[in-house]
Structure 1
Amino acid sequence: MLNVATIKKTSHQKIINVAVAVIHYQAQYLLGFRDATQHQGNRYEFIGGKIDADETAKQALIREVAEETGIDIHDNTIVKLGRLHHDYGDKQVSLQVYNIELTAPQYEQHRYLSHGLEGQALAWVNKSELLAGKYHLPDANKTILEWLHLPAQIAISYPLTHFSDQPNPVAEWLTYHMEKVASHAWLYIRVKDSDLDNSVKQLMSLRPDIQVILPFDTHAHTHAQSLRDGYQIVAHQLTHTALMEWFDNRQDGFVGKQTLSTDRPLIVSCHDAASIYAANELARTRLQQQLPPIIGIFLSPVLVTQTHPDTVPLGWKSWSALAQLADMPVIGLGGLSPAMSEQAYQYGGISVAGIRQFI
């Protein structure tokens, strides 16, 4: 188990590189418990430990999990969730966080673990209780919990133009999404027409089960009252253009306050290495300012889309290479279907999103 308290503090506060394993089987997650004598003691934590100088993060992950729990994850799919830097004041840690889902036989073999191989207490906990904050984790782990809110699939609303042949397109837009969006789905509502403002509010009122993502640039403040009214706005989406404007301007001392001050997590749109680098910078800035984190990036287009058939897609191989650069979970977008969730996971993604086939 990670024990940064045993690492000697130096005058320049050497950064401790740590591999973190978010191990689960379906909705059951494995946590360790830190002894009171340890740094950040009397808290639960994800399994993990220091990355040695002669090993990669994944090698450290496999080694630490085996040493602490006896679980062999060598043949499991290991997908990066993200990277985090946290300053505890007396110690600085850089966490490389990975998602590992156990197979049914692995879970059956280890489901009754109560203590690890190093004598530490272990517990399998339900995801809903974990995300609700029932288990007290070190401060550096809080962003991980935000990442874990992301579902395997995110639906995107149809544009108003999709209903342009109807007598009342706005009413048809509302009726369609009210009836067709799955129960408790995450829905990114791409609103580009002011006529839809009231319909968006109506949709959230009529379907309070929907977990809504709204564009930050136009609706983060328009719907402030909706936030107070308790609608399930789980994140704001920042466009690629807005992201790059923030990144380009930050060197000149201008930081878009709206971009950084939203009281909800962000999901950022990226298309290339430059925008992913900008998203990483924004993520670090938000954590430094103790603002809600970036919980994911829409990385697109993976495949050819009907709406932009002339845009050259990344393809799975290039998409996967770009996903490795991100310091937060990656969501596949562009020409995908819900059935491709597992394929995206194999290529390093946590989720897939789209319009057609998702609603």
Structure 2
Amino acid sequence: MKRVHVAAAVIRGVDGRILIARRADTQHQGGLWEFPGGKVEDGEAVEVALARELKEELGIVVTAARPLIKVKHDYPDKQVLLDVWEVSSFNGEPHGAEGQPLAWVSPRELPNYDFPEANQPIVAAASLPYEYLITPDGLETPALLRGMQKAIASGIKLVQLRAPNMYDPQYRDVAVDAVGLCAGKAQLMLKGPLEWLGDFPAAGWHLTSAQLRKYASKGRPFPRERWLAASCHNAEELALAEQMGVDFVTLSPVQATRTHPEARPLGWEQASQLVDGFNKPVFLLGGVSANDRQRAWSIGAQGVAGIRAFWPEH
């Protein structure tokens, strides 16, 4: 069966809301909501197909777009490759040129709409930022919280509280403060035993690769309303992350780092191959900075994660 190549768009308005369309009842997966787009013709460039489809479907002319995520999905009756681009600028006023209902939805409202199963990773990618801050090790609690506060004030929207040298009670105390700091401003990801999950309902959870190996076969430990992420370093761990139903992963180390000098870097080419075979948003980690964002996007990654790269120095 030939995989149907579809170009789809996450169209973001100036207010950050995203445009979605409802499929006609007569279509495949009819009645569900989707990200606008359509089939890529043989020999056609994806961005050309996307521009053509959005002109036909919505009456808009795309002026700025970039790759967001690729998702391969097998339905019982067809196989699709969704080639998703983020459209950040366009001319014209979108309207349902084919009679389809449209809705402008904030990223946090997206999970309230019914999408085809293949669209779930796109919902995650559309809701996540392109930078993921991981807190540095070895800081005293006041400095750690001060730095987090500063980073959030500067626009960081996704923060992992990583403090491997803290004792459990100490980490839990800091986590309580971090939850308060992030409330309504950024998504906090905590690390630790899954037994703690119930104590921090507002936080997402970032699993270590060891936890992934231990728990993947049991599936997702909590409902989709909460973010679940994992640290991956190779194809085997990415497969476990897929099995567990995580929302996104970090893939590391892309390049050599001072924090893990013993870890063998993947390099950009291998990272690119791993991202290409994985159906969820991927943050590249290890020796990368905000300057590598475009390169990360070009290989299909969500963006970049970092410790020093995004940590306010003072």
Q: Distance in 2 between matches of 1:39 and 1:321?
A: 31
Q: Distance in 2 between matches of 1:281 and 1:82?
A: 19
Provide closer, same or farther for how the CA distance between residues 270 and 261 of structure 1 changes in structure 2, counting only shifts above 3 A.
Answer: closer
What does residue range 102-121 of structure 1 map to in structure 2 within 5 Å? 102-103=88-89, 106=90, 109-110=91-92, 112-116=93-97, 118-121=98-101
Q: Distance in 2 between matches of 1:321 and 1:16?
A: 21
1:127 and 2:106 are equivalent in the alignment:
yes
What does residue range 1-359 of structure 1 map to in structure 2 within 5 Å? 18-25=6-13, 27-50=16-39, 61=50, 63-71=52-60, 76-85=64-73, 87=75, 91-92=77-78, 94-103=80-89, 106=90, 109-110=91-92, 112-116=93-97, 118-123=98-103, 125-128=104-107, 130-131=109-110, 133=112, 135-159=113-137, 162-163=138-139, 172=140, 174-181=141-148, 182-183=151-152, 185-193=157-165, 195-208=166-179, 209-210=181-182, 211-215=187-191, 218-221=192-195, 223-227=196-200, 230=201, 232-239=202-209, 243=212, 245=213, 257-258=217-218, 260-263=219-222, 264-272=226-234, 274-275=235-236, 278-280=237-239, 282-283=241-242, 285-286=243-244, 293-309=245-261, 311-359=263-311
Q: Distance in 2 between matches of 1:122 and 1:355?
A: 40
Provide closer, same or farther for how the CA distance between residues 257 and 311 of structure 1 changes in structure 2, counting only shifts above 3 A.
Answer: closer
Unpaired segments of 5 or more residues in structure 1?
A: 1-12, 164-171, 247-254, 287-292
Shift of 1:47: 1.0
**Letter matched to residue 232 of structure 2:** C
- Match in the other structure for 1:10: none
Provide closer, same or farther for how the CA distance between residues 236 and 86 of structure 1 changes in structure 2, counting only shifts above 3 A.
Answer: farther
Cα pair 2:220 2:246 within 8 Å, conserved: no
Deviations 1:197-245 (A, max 9, x none): 2233222322324333234xx4222x13313xx3x32233241x555x5
Q: Distance in 1 between matches of 2:107 and 2:99?
A: 27
Larger Rg, first or second structure (1 or 2): 1
- Match in the other structure for 1:9: none
> What TM-score, normalized by structure 1, do the two folds share?
0.67
Cα pair 2:255 2:267 within 8 Å, conserved: yes
Shift of 1:18: 4.1
Q: Distance in 2 between matches of 1:328 and 1:128?
A: 17
Provide closer, same or farther for how the CA distance between residues 281 and 156 of structure 1 changes in structure 2, counting only shifts above 3 A.
Answer: closer
Deviations 1:113-153 (A, max 9, x none): 2223x343444x143454362x4434543442233332221
**Letter matched to residue 271 of structure 1:** H
Cα pair 2:73 2:81 within 8 Å, conserved: yes
> What TM-score, normalized by structure 2, do the two folds share?
0.76
Provide closer, same or farther for how the CA distance between residues 139 and 115 of structure 1 changes in structure 2, counting only shifts above 3 A.
Answer: same
Provide closer, same or farther for how the CA distance between residues 66 and 271 of structure 1 changes in structure 2, counting only shifts above 3 A.
Answer: farther
Cα pair 2:251 2:284 within 8 Å, conserved: yes
SS in 1 for 2:279: coil
Unpaired segments of 5 or more residues in structure 2?
A: none
Q: Distance in 2 between matches of 1:17 and 1:346?
A: 18
Shift of 1:333: 0.8
SS in 2 for 1:207: helix
SS in 2 for 1:267: strand
Cα pair 1:22 1:97 within 8 Å, conserved: no
Provide closer, same or farther for how the CA distance between residues 185 and 16 of structure 1 changes in structure 2, counting only shifts above 3 A.
Answer: closer
Cα pair 1:22 1:98 within 8 Å, conserved: yes
Cα pair 2:10 2:18 within 8 Å, conserved: yes
**Letter matched to residue 135 of structure 2:** S
Provide closer, same or farther for how the CA distance between residues 357 and 15 of structure 1 changes in structure 2, counting only shifts above 3 A.
Answer: closer
RMSD over aligned Cα atoms: 3.5
Aligned residues: 297
Q: Distance in 1 between matches of 2:82 and 2:207?
A: 24
Shift of 1:331: 0.6
Shift of 1:70: 4.6
Identity %: 29
**Letter matched to residue 30 of structure 1:** L
